[in-house]
A and B are shown apart, each in its own frame.
Chain A
């Protein structure tokens, strides 16, 4: 659906986007991740025909963004960062304005407006001025604006910023729903959002793509240490040193020891080494009561931090 090839954008000497190549297929929900200033917004602005690249090209549904700019823009619904809207207009007028520009026939307006009000939950604010709305409602008006022409491609730049947890959950389930038939690009730096909604993740750092895959694949590719969490019950105090002396153990960190016999540790070892059997035997030999033991999954956050800090 969207093909981005060798895309480069320079602002003066600064390379905001540096030789980026990726494809997005119909029905994908792509999480476009990166720290602030990594080049997410610039890439998205090129796809939406707001900016021209310095080099490389973008195709949406087989149409080049330079040669068929208007056709491409018809296929895309775009919610820019912070949902910039006309604050002096009321919600209904604004949606009508967008439908007018989008060339939606007037006899479909009222039906389309109703649908948008339902989907985005705009009922209570239809006749209010956009300037008076809370940030959550503004985001939803922005979302309605992006979806009103039923686009094939939906590009959302940080759609949940400034929303409360309930609204965030609503928007996420909405995006998931939309992603069943449409192509969605979701720019964000909020990682749980990606884990909750995206089938595919693209991480960009300093203008370059540093990771591309499903959230599970990215977690599997994590290069850090393996961690095991263990909870023991024992009156002995030499537990930590005994753990540290176990073969293959690289680091032992005590999490909590209160006055009771309860002791909690995280134990680090190299990737691919399974310590669990050894730990079990050690506990049995020393007569420690093993209450809990689990392998810690590398979170997307760990992956993200590893790839975007150097």
Chain B
């Protein structure tokens, strides 16, 4: 990987962890997911992470846009983008570096929920295959949300706009397989295929199918590509 990407990624990580952003986001994430997780656990009385895996994609809808909203829009608002884009680096290296920094933050947050998993494994038998698959699925899902957030942050200088639009796109991607009954039959499988939740539930069942992986990777690539184009569009305007 190019050294520029590493430099940008490190810089972004530092600004996450030097400011309260990372800590607030991670703590809130753990509190909310933990509350949902444990409050249901004793009702169902079964050692399963099903619940956790159901709720995290939902929490991510708010959590990920909060992480990404300032990544590029803040550079545009403060004007630092002018120095950034006149440095000898390619636009995609900037986008990729920022995306990876976000991904690391998400992975840290997700891995911290392993505490819940270990608590659970003391209470009953866990299917470790599906736990591992579920975590991998969460990271793919998080990466997809992140790429949407990086994209929306790259076309505006307003963080609120970036947050709301990325939330809207993620919400749409998440809801696609929940509105199938309102969709004509020939579109139903298409909608289902586009839905992030459909692929996530495939993976979290314990089967990592290349089709699901390809789906996530192509969405990530697509949105990061759009982000690079949005950054380049300044040149022609």
Expressed in whole angstroms, the minimum distance between the Cβ of B237 and any Cβ of chain A is: 7
Question: With a CB–CB cut-off of 8 A, which chain B residues contact A51?
Answer: 234-235
A84-B236 in contact (CB<8A): no
Is A133 close to B, CB under 8 A?
no
* Residue B122, interface by CB 8 Å: no
Judge whether A50 and B80 touch: CB under 8 Å: no
Among B68-112, those with CB < 8 Å from A are 78-83, 85-90
Q: Answer whether residue B209 sits at the interface, using C-beta atoms and an 8 A cutoff.
A: no
CB proximity of B137 to chain A, nearest CB, Å? 34
CB distance from B66 to the nearest CB of A (A): 17
Which residues does chain A contribute within 8 Å of B85, judged by CB atoms?
49-50
The contact sample of 25 A-B pairs, CB cut-off 8 A, is: A49-B85, A50-B82, A50-B85, A50-B235, A76-B86, A78-B86, A80-B82, A80-B83, A80-B86, A82-B79, A84-B78, A84-B80, A84-B82, A86-B80, A87-B78, A88-B15, A89-B15, A97-B7, A97-B11, A98-B87, A100-B3, A101-B87, A101-B88, A101-B89, A145-B83
Taking the closest CB of chain A, its distance from the CB of B229, in whole angstroms, is 14
Could you list which residues of chain B lie within 8 angstroms of chain A, going by C-beta atoms?
Answer: 3-4, 7-8, 10-11, 14-15, 18-19, 78-83, 85-90, 234-237
Closest chain A residue to B93 by CB distance? A101
Alpha-carbon distance A166/B14, docked complex (angstroms): 35
Question: Nearest Cβ in chain A — how far from B2, in angstroms?
Answer: 11
CA distance A103 to B88 in the complex (A): 9
Q: Does A85 contact B (CB under 8 A)?
A: yes
Query: Which of A48, A101, A145 gathers the greatest number of chain B CB atoms within 10 Å?
Result: A101
Cα-based distance from A97 to B90 in the complex (angstroms): 16
Knowing A84-B80, A84-B82, A93-B14, the reply to whether A102 touches B235 (Cβ < 8 A) is: no
Report how far A74 CA is from B87 CA in the complex, Å. 7
Say which residue of A52, A80, A82, A145 sits within 8 Å of B235 (CB atoms). A52
A84 to B86, CA, bound (A): 13
- Interface check A255, CB cutoff 8 A: no
Q: How distant is the Cα of A89 from the Cα of B88 in the complex, in angstroms?
A: 21
11 additional A-B residue pairs with CB within 8 Å, beyond A78-B83, A88-B19: A50-B82, A50-B234, A52-B236, A78-B86, A80-B79, A80-B83, A85-B83, A89-B11, A98-B87, A101-B89, A102-B87
Interface residues of A in 70-95 (CB under 8 A from B): 70-71, 73-74, 76, 78, 80-82, 84-89, 93
In the complex, the chain B residue whose C-beta lies closest to that of A41 is: B82
Q: Which of A19-56 contact B (CB under 8 A)?
A: 45, 48-52
Pair A73/B234 contact, Cβ less than 8 Å: no
Query: Measured between C-beta atoms, what is the minimum distance from B184 to chain A in Å?
Result: 42
**A78 / chain B contacts, CB cutoff of 8 Å:** 82-83, 86
Instruction: Choose among B15, B79, B88 the residue with the greatest number of A CB atoms under 10 Å from its CB.
Output: B88
Shortest C-beta distance, B230 to chain A (Å), equals: 15
State the Cβ distance, B25 to closest chain A Cβ, in Å.
16
Are the C-beta atoms of B90 and A70 separated by less than 8 Å? yes
Residue of A87, A93, A101 touching B4 (CB-CB under 8 A): A101
Residues of A within 8 A of B81 (CB): 84
